[in-house]
Structure 1
Amino acid sequence: MSGRNDEQLDGVSLLGNQGTKYLYEYDPAILEVFENQHPYRDTVVKFNCPEFTSLCPKTGQPDFANVIIRYIPDKKMVESKSLKLYLFSFRNHGDFHEDCMNIILNDLKELMEPRYIEVWGKFTPRGGISIDPYVNWGNPGTKYEEMANYRLMNHDLYPEKVDNR
């Protein structure tokens, strides 16, 4: 079994780059993709970002969340370091929790054109309440659209005990 060659990694510039710049303003242009070597198979890719931060658009106070991104790629996959830097770019971005999760889904959907994608923000409480927005999308007219509808209807039927936030 052989690994990827430089041509297959064309466009991946952040991985291994020691001069990484951290952006403090939302920037989807930082996202990079690479070719899925197994487009013939459904593969679920899951990312956990337990240190996501954005700002409340009204108060400017920080909001913290564990953001979970799960997708089934088609031809392209998101490069993880670029995803980390992209999520970090929300640090000074002022938007409501629900908007942030929709923006992330929309940016990744446009970037990769996946078969299926979902984004779930599990925010820490502020003012005694936590907000956990969940958004998803499945390729229309396919089993992935059916999957998206099913997962949305059955999302969080058995929520976890919230004792660590």
Structure 2
Amino acid sequence: MTDPFLVLLDRDGTINIDKHYLSDPDGVEILPGAISGLLRLQAAGAVLAIVTNQSGVGRGYFDLETAWAVNKRVVELLAQHGVTIAHSAMCPHAPEEACTCRKPAPELALECARATGLALTSSWTIGDKASDVQLGRGVGGKGLLIAASPAQDFGQSASCTDLDAAADFILQERGL
């Protein structure tokens, strides 16, 4: 195993199927490739953390407790397969609130770095939106975009179809 490194994971559309303002923990479905990719990253020394924007809270679609319940269900489903999430950080604000925690602002990543004791400069951020890639780059790490079809260039290190392909890329980049 190599030195530990931080992998910041977007939640909806990256780990689990994005169901547009998911507010029912029973509706969580893990995406194909997520478990196998995360297990391989974890075995190679990755410390996994979730960073998620949940604007449904700020827009009044559901409360913060509900958002955390959905997140808890994602973590539980992953744990059933041996995937450990070291920390979760969430922005509950709507985009127009101009908070300091909504990705791509660095606050969620900084929280995960403090919680895990790992540097962001050697981190990877994986997500399905430009803000995920921008977060990774903004904190001095690298960003990978999950995209089912050819993606726009947001400065990502690569575009991958799922977390399994993202694991392939990261492990190759790390020489593993």
The question of a shared fold, defined as TM-score above 0.5 by the shorter chain, is answered with: no
State the TM-score, normalized to the length of structure 1.
0.32
Structure ranking higher in strand proportion: 1
Higher relative contact order (CA 8 A, sep 6+): 2
Structure ranking higher in helix proportion: 2
State the TM-score, normalized to the length of structure 2.
0.30
Report which of the two structures shows the higher radius of gyration computed on alpha carbons.
1
